[in-house]
């Protein structure tokens, strides 16, 4: 059974290995049993699942996952945590550690080799400094997954599920909602971690969309448009797209595409929903 889900046990194992937190890895370890159980429940982790955990730290949540999952693969970058994990996960035959930078891991190959090509399930307390690159790597690289349940900064979770017209709505909102249906599970206070972060956290689950938004639209084209719009969100569509290098910055061609799609060039793009961005992209790159 899990042994690390309290501050005394966590401090003891850290002292044993003379471990010091490293800011560059964004290390904040969970010490709250209810949160740990809640994450496993939110991820709907069961015996049929091959779960990938990103940034296991000392293995606190890994133990919880191993109690419920069929297999758990924990991906850890910090050299100093590998011997700790070897001890804390030693009694779990269904848990293994991959010592690697998560941004260099070939998860498609892992799904093929270790899970018979079936979708992986991702569960993680993500390092906050690198949340967006990790999430986008999982979404954009055609990795088979049944769900991604992650703890992130509260404001990042709010951006992921933000709707057009809100201040939180931006490129991350569009990207996450292009690939998945996000659902915010619960908020987590600062006191659930050691050391305490400076911000509140939230657990959010991303499940793949059952049908693609618009098969005629290439994701790389759409996100070129999205980035251009939100990089200059207060500018008109015409100027934002031109300044962002869409269609080589050719304003005449962009204006024609906008009008063909039913958008006034003077419109601001920050209010466009997913379907609007898809329609605009199709007109620009037909």
pLDDT in tens, 192-212: 998 888 899 999 999 999 887
Gap between the Cα atoms of 260 and 89, Å rounded: 59
Residue 24 pLDDT > 70, yes or no? no
Q: Which residues of 154-174 are buried (b: 16+ CB within 10 A; e: fewer)?
A: bebbbbbbbeeeeeebbbbbb
User: What's the confidence (pLDDT) of residue 198?
Assistant: 87
Quick one: average pLDDT of 160-176? Answer: 93
Quick one: average pLDDT of 258-267? Answer: 89
User: What's the confidence (pLDDT) of residue 207?
Assistant: 97
pLDDT tens digits, 32-69: 999 999 999 999 999 999 999 999 999 999 999 999 99
Domain spanning 7-208: which CATH class is it, in words? alpha beta
Residue 129 pLDDT > 80, yes or no? yes
The angle subtended at Cα 163 by Cα 160 and Cα 165, nearest 5°, is: 130
The β-bridge relationship of strands 50-54 and 201-208 is unpaired
Q: Is the pTM for the entire model greater than 0.75?
A: yes
Residues forming CATH 3.40.50.150 domain(s) in the chain: 7-208
- What is the architecture of the domain spanning 219-284? Orthogonal Bundle (1.10)
User: What's the confidence (pLDDT) of residue 175?
Assistant: 93
Residues forming CATH 1.10.8.100 domain(s) in the chain: 219-284
Look at phi and psi of residue 118 and say left if phi exceeds 0, alpha if psi is from -120 to 50, else beta.
beta
């Amino acid at each position: 059974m899990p042994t690390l889900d309290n501050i005394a046990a966590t401090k003891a194992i850290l002292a044993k290995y003379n471990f010091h937190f490293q800011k560059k890895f964004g290390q904040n370890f969970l010490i709250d049993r209810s949160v740990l159980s809640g994450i496993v429940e939110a991820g709907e982790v069961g015996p049929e699942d091959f779960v990938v955990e990103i940034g296991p730290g000392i293995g606190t949540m890994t133990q919880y996952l191993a109690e419920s999952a069929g297999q758990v693969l924990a991906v850890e970058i910090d050299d100093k945590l590998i011997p700790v994990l070897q001890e804390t996960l030693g009694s779990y035959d269904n848990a293994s550690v991959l010592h690697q930078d998560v941004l260099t891991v070939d998860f498609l190959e892992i799904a093929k080799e270790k899970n018979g090509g079936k979708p992986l399930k991702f569960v993680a307390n993500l390092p906050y400094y690198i949340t967006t690159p990790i999430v986008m790597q999982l979404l954009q690289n055609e990795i088979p997954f049944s769900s991604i349940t992650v703890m992130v900064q509260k404001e990042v979770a709010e951006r992921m599920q933000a709707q057009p017209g809100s201040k939180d709505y931006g490129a991350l909102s569009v990207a996450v909602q292009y690939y998945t249906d996000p659902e915010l599970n619960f908020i987590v206070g600062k006191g659930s971690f050691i050391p305490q972060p400076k911000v509140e956290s939230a657990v959010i689950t991303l499940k793949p969309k059952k049908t693609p938004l618009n098969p005629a639209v290439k994701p790389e084209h759409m996100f070129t448009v999205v980035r251009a719009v939100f990089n200059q969100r207060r500018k008109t569509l015409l100027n934002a797209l031109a300044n962002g290098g869409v269609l080589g910055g050719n304003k005449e061609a962009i204006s024609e595409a906008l009008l063909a799609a039913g958008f006034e060039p003077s419109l601001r793009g920050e209010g466009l929903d997913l379907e609007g961005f898809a329609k605009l992209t199709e007109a620009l790159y037909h």
